Structure 1
């Protein structure tokens, strides 16, 4: 498809200036909707400078400022500071094109430069997919949160990330918010229980919070409630992230209902899970359909090529990962399974369990319930956890018993077991004594920085450990922290935060499996103890991944404590649990996926199988397969091993067409300044008479310490407003709203981020935040710089040209308002008296275009151009001839996108043909609706408008002027 010029459509392309309600706005995006043309804008005028808005052309008069009629004004500022700032800010606001394969801001944050993470970002942004939709299925510890941050950063820079929703488990809300802000300068509001309360105080009850906040982090448990579902139906998102997305695959759940809704209303969709499938092809197909409804044929077959296209999966020992992580991810030690001989009292309980409950004689089990094979092992599991857990289980069962004869027999048996269990509490249990001994051996104690995390399944065990450990370790009460799922989300987040802090008093974290997913515990800790072993490989892997992950500089030490009763039968079966720890370690090294060993892909199902092994109805080797058997199988686990454990196929080289598209003007760094801080400093000097003066005297208290690598300023109210979504505790404790301190180099940024973990304030949010390219302070500076010119004006300046020259930028966009390609042009007028003749020169980048004008370095301004009116008549012919040139220049890019659209349409048509034979199935009708929506989206991706906009009029230098 070849883009053509149309007066009404061209002027509404991104980058154009419009007047709405008598205020000037910069067009950020334009999209065609069922209700007409929707224009997304950013305010330029004084009254709307900090306002983002959207207007329908059918409801508001949207008056484009015609580029050909731009007025030329002379810049009289020292060293052309005003023009330089305006031009730099304009370039920063031009989105990176959709088809750009190079990464820009993603590699300029505080994430380490890891090639495997960058390849994941490139795959997510691959223009072959038309829109970013990906399942990040990297194994535990590889940094999926960082990959998410990098993808979102790129989307923002490409004009595709204005409205973003991130959905996570509630205990990692702050961790996600912290990473996105501290490493990528992306501010999100966190709607945990405290955040929601704040919103309720701030907004009317009838106000939809998703219209007020454009970037939100919220838990899936909160979001799936009917209250929010109603609000979400009305929202369109540029990008949606759903963490732990394996919880979405069951089509009958509220989680899946929410995911379907979000998938329909989102341009980009990022799903993340270290356990991407549950072994069932139909469930995994549901995840693929969320990403792309046509990726799974109507007959539900899984296509390996589609899986490879939509899924990214690596593990710690994948070649792509192992060769780059180096010392930043120390190899874990061999797991240490410690068999702890039971005390006499514990042996008495074990014998009672064995003889009365687990393997009773002719009389059978005393259990009076319906599932006689299950409850005895529930007692056994509680016993192996702790006497406190067994007491809770016995008391709970006694409370539920009836009063018939059968219940009476069970009641007597339970009372007898309870009496024996009470005796174990008269002295410290054997496993507990071994735990205390182990913690002391590894260095946990008063005055020592050593930390450990202790996992147990039963809440009563956790509470008992929390009560007992401080005194037995010689530690104060606050040195042992307790975390479990019954705590409020903000309490859980505070505990995780404290465990990361070097100055926090906590030395031992006692936690249940609520902390086994998503939480990073490796900052100060490399010792993990399984006080009881889960009867699930998945759970063991999840626990271990809390300290065995990228960034762990010490070899993770994983210890499992197993009670070893004297009873040979019971003890023999208990040793089976030790094999689980060993099998997890084997699969971690070879596959990065332990779930495939048992093939259940579900914690409960794995527990049921292990219970059957312990009961003697199944063999361990039949339940837990060798690694070789997994890779040689024919199930979904084997398919994943074959697809992702083989050496990765090389990424295809960009074609010549793609090269012309992606190099047509995409510069990925600052154009006119050496670095971000130089740009910010110039912007402040332009905006304030003396930026170093305090606010009371009209400045912002600007201070720059180049040697220390920091700057600071007192943020004005309009900048404070942009930071208000960040945690109030962080803003207050770091005094951000009074004195904003910024790190100006990546090294300094990482140093302050690491220092925050040693800070006396016990707050992991740094005291100096890194000035990344997307930082709100830079966006604030750009908005101020763009407001200096009047309505539809461009600057006239002097430069290194032989004849008057107009700098122009051309953009090609699609019906969704997305920039497909960018071109930089200069129009030189050798004969100023004849403006009908111009030499149009295309440039490969903004940097090259500026260099051709002598504007790739600062210039002395000898004074404003006197005869500026003489150059006014060059603008219209420059725009006109540039538009004609762009038709040819953009043809290759337009045809390339149109070709991809045609390929996508062919896929959709093929899906339609396959579905015809199955249309009577209700789920096919539902899927067809999704595919139809996809079809409309695909058609809107084709380029349909272009804009040529003058940016600068450059006249020859005055003779003798020093540059």
Structure 2
């Protein structure tokens, strides 16, 4: 049977009225209840229905549906809040649970101006790359341009991505990891893959990069792919080569949308940067970038901004990020601790000397020395654990642990490394000395406590980052004694990822909190909502990791206006001073000059040589005659060259490729249109307050400004819907970003206003369908807002949006509109927010029932006459304006799709209200 109904038509089926939506199959009907929500969409085959599907019409309200002024305002707001099929130019605006900043729309606009989206988003840490990518995903889904997508990311980011897509973008993605893949594949048909069964996925790169999986995924990969931490996919390490092979296969499809995310696109490695750009377009790699025309073209695909680039008057982001104060605090080792450091160092260098000509043993002893000295400098607990560990055998793994690399197969490791040294003789004595120090005064832990005391007294909520699990547990025990009044938790890699997140979230109820964590939290879980201070208890030997720690709290959404970070170090340590001078301060100077953090280069010979040289000097220089084949003599000069090359690479990259294709003045009108559509935080708060009061569950607003909503007091239908979305009992609310700890951030698409709006609108359009007192759709009262009798119409406009490009797509879009008519003028005198504002005017008195009925009857007669003329003309005007909006945002797209918009008539009149001038 051929479907005779078009999107936007009204039909009657199964005893109720529906709106026809674009259907995936010609003979099927996709229907949304006329008075229901997106969640109530049904697909049916008309040929199988016992009663035929018939055309329907949206009738004007009857005189028995009388509304008060409060109900009229609620009806208008509920209509706006309930619409999810945004008219444009950003169709996804109503599906987001947050209000994006103007600068975050730049990548979206760049994407919309490309026929096939190929973007490298390289914004600095904390600016919001995940948000920028999510905006593009949601928009392409809602435009019907993609129906399947995959996010590829390191394994420790899978959970965060899945949660962000669900909570911020209303995208229900499944996590595909080594642990979940078998379960997801269970029960599938032999010809079906999990990527067919689950259109939206977040995939662990380390799971999917294996050769067998890589080939299968390349064959069934969705048409839209996001790659997070893309810089980790273009190196020459074996694991990174596997990732690169996969991405090369995916990018070879010219029709595939590909979005690459990284905060460190260049990393001082020109070859890796070249490979990264080549994933966007092979013409961007090699010598092609020397041509100005190529660089100009690349500017349409590459966005890279520091905070300084997006703050200030042009972007209106003066308060988007907190002020950051950083400091260093030194401490002196006691005689016992210094003697222990010297004894361990003496032992290590003795092992190096005794390694003989076996180069592998000598290199293992070299790395073991650095690894063990890191543990010794961290804490007696970490030192004792490392000294007990058995001989290590994997040089690459040991080097990665020393330099705080991201693991290729797992998260950043925080287990104390095996030192790679013999376990006979002196080791037992060293373990005993470490265990004795566990019971002695610790100058490092005491220094941390002294740093924390004034911060805690001032209300700070600190995160203390340690390198090793043993150190974190040891430090937390000491801090618990020093600050018994604080809620203190420890989160390390010893906990499963789900428990780490839960332990952090459980701290939200505390008035003040202190978290001790290892670098398992330096990525993957945002901490800005609960913490505002970072203490580097252990130095990170990777400047990127160092910045990531601070970036967990110093990022977009931090409610505090000031963020602090303090770095602890000891000049008596064999390692601390060298790490500060050779790595961290060099990286800091580059960041000061370029605005970005340069990670450690792939070739670390010069840096490791300089660190070992510092260790030898700490030993009084008496062992400098040893040759470890690391070029110690030239180490200092090589380090300077290494960092200089990295800095120059970043400078050249930014000078050539910094985003300049879209200026603030081009984004501002689109952002304004976006805010007008969403209504803003004030409008959302006003609606929630009025809706909760209407339903006899008013918000509780305390003297300190905290807001609570007692959801259990709402009607049963509403509480059931809220419970299905995880909202029950009493919750704290916030309407302005950033939300305080333990509070739900309430935006337009949050379940609370969404379900309130849907329930109230349903009560008005289909009284009795829900256990909510009906609002009514007609009203008349005396108002101080008008000087002549005025009729205000609340309208729902539906349009079909046809996109003609590589394939034709038909979409249904909706918008809420208001028109005001003076009694003596057939044409509207106001529209939009101006017309809605008339409903807010102070009521001057009630009307007699007979007068109200007479006025409403006359107004409905005029509306009936105007429905096919004036209202239809207004709908055509709105359709033309929407078409122009869509054309504008895609103005720069080569071969872009042609878009036409047509109104669906007649217009739905949701509410009609007559305002009589005061005194008449």
TM bucket, shorter chain = 0.5 to 0.7
Match of 1:616? Answer: 631
Match of 1:78? Answer: 67
Match of 1:529? Answer: 536
Q: Deviations over 1:449-502 (max 9, x none)?
A: 877655454x5xx32562476269846999875543343112222343466664
Task: Decide whether the 8 Å contact of 2:173 with 2:200 is kept in 1.
Answer: yes
Match of 2:750? Answer: 775
State the alpha-carbon separation in 1 of the partners of residues 904 and 493 from structure 2: 55
Match of 1:485? Answer: 493
Q: Does 2:867 match 1:875?
A: yes
For residues 311-322 of structure 1, the aligned pairs below 5 Å read 311-318=302-309, 320=311
For residues 465-480 of structure 1, the aligned pairs below 5 Å read 466-467=473-474, 470=477, 474=481
**Stretches of structure 2 lacking an aligned partner (at least 5 in a row):** 395-418, 615-629, 768-775, 782-787, 804-808
C-alpha change, 1:263 and 1:942, in structure 2 (3 Å) is farther
State the alpha-carbon separation in 1 of the partners of residues 828 and 14 from structure 2: 38
State the alpha-carbon separation in 2 of the partners of residues 771 and 247 from structure 1: 36
Q: Does 2:502 match 1:494?
A: yes
State the alpha-carbon separation in 2 of the partners of residues 145 and 945 from structure 1: 35
C-alpha change, 1:485 and 1:54, in structure 2 (3 Å) is farther
SS at match of 2:363: coil
Q: Does 2:388 match 1:385?
A: no
SS at match of 1:140: coil
Task: Decide whether the 8 Å contact of 1:79 with 1:858 is kept in 2.
Answer: no
Q: Does 2:3 match 1:12?
A: no
Task: Decide whether the 8 Å contact of 1:711 with 1:743 is kept in 2.
Answer: yes
Q: Deviations over 1:191-222 (max 9, x none)?
A: 699x989x989x98999999999998887668
The match for 2:102 among 114, 118, 136 is 118
Q: Deviations over 1:772-816 (max 9, x none)?
A: 22222322233334444379xx97877977899996746361334
SS at match of 1:947: strand
Q: Deviations over 1:58-114 (max 9, x none)?
A: 9999999879x64334353123777765554444416444436998998975x8xxx
Q: Does 2:355 match 1:365?
A: yes
Q: Deviations over 1:516-547 (max 9, x none)?
A: 5654379446352343552x333333334445
Task: Decide whether the 8 Å contact of 1:97 with 1:666 is kept in 2.
Answer: no
SS at match of 1:442: helix
C-alpha change, 1:329 and 1:722, in structure 2 (3 Å) is same
Task: Decide whether the 8 Å contact of 2:61 with 2:911 is kept in 1.
Answer: no
State the alpha-carbon separation in 2 of the partners of residues 234 and 412 from structure 1: 48
Match of 1:425? Answer: 434
State the alpha-carbon separation in 2 of the partners of residues 305 and 179 from structure 1: 33
C-alpha change, 1:630 and 1:244, in structure 2 (3 Å) is closer
The match for 2:655 among 639, 642, 652 is 642
SS at match of 1:950: strand
C-alpha change, 1:327 and 1:669, in structure 2 (3 Å) is closer
State the alpha-carbon separation in 1 of the partners of residues 375 and 906 from structure 2: 71
**Stretches of structure 1 lacking an aligned partner (at least 5 in a row):** 1-6, 112-116, 402-409, 566-570, 693-700, 757-764, 832-837, 906-937
State the alpha-carbon separation in 2 of the partners of residues 100 and 444 from structure 1: 49
For residues 400-799 of structure 1, the aligned pairs below 5 Å read 415-416=424-425, 418-419=427-428, 421-422=430-431, 424-425=433-434, 427-428=436-437, 433-443=442-452, 453-457=463-467, 459=468, 462-463=469-470, 466-467=473-474, 470=477, 474=481, 482-497=490-505, 502=510, 507=514, 509-512=516-519, 515=522, 519-520=526-527, 523-524=530-531, 526-531=533-538, 533-534=540-541, 536-546=542-552, 549=555, 551=558, 553-561=562-570, 564=573, 575=578, 577-595=580-598, 600=601, 615-617=630-632, 618-625=634-641, 630=646, 633=648, 635=649, 637-643=650-656, 650-653=663-666, 667-668=676-677, 675-680=683-688, 691-692=695-696, 701-702=697-698, 710-714=708-712, 715=714, 719-720=718-719, 723=722, 736-737=727-728, 739-741=729-731, 743=733, 745-746=735-736, 753-754=739-740, 756=741, 765-766=742-743, 769-787=744-762, 788-789=764-765
Task: Decide whether the 8 Å contact of 2:97 with 2:748 is kept in 1.
Answer: no
Q: Does 2:324 match 1:331?
A: yes
Q: Deviations over 1:692-720 (max 9, x none)?
A: 2xxxxxxxx45565986555332556545
Task: Decide whether the 8 Å contact of 2:97 with 2:747 is kept in 1.
Answer: no
When the two structures are aligned, how many residues end up with a matched partner? Answer: 822
State the alpha-carbon separation in 2 of the partners of residues 887 and 399 from structure 1: 70
SS at match of 1:543: helix
SS at match of 1:99: coil
State the alpha-carbon separation in 1 of the partners of residues 249 and 540 from structure 2: 36
State the alpha-carbon separation in 2 of the partners of residues 26 and 877 from structure 1: 23
Q: 1:382 Cα deviation (Å)?
A: 1.5
SS at match of 1:12: coil
State the alpha-carbon separation in 2 of the partners of residues 782 and 263 from structure 1: 46
State the alpha-carbon separation in 1 of the partners of residues 245 and 440 from structure 2: 42
The match for 2:799 among 808, 811, 815 is 811
Task: Decide whether the 8 Å contact of 2:20 with 2:31 is kept in 1.
Answer: yes
The higher relative CO (CA closer than 8 Å, separation ≥ 6) is in 1
State the alpha-carbon separation in 2 of the partners of residues 724 and 215 from structure 1: 25
Match of 1:344? Answer: 339
SS at match of 1:558: strand
Q: Deviations over 1:889-913 (max 9, x none)?
A: 677557657865xx423xxxxxxxx
State the alpha-carbon separation in 2 of the partners of residues 283 and 293 from structure 1: 15
SS at match of 1:494: helix
For residues 96-135 of structure 1, the aligned pairs below 5 Å read 96-99=86-89, 117-125=101-109, 127-129=112-114, 135=120
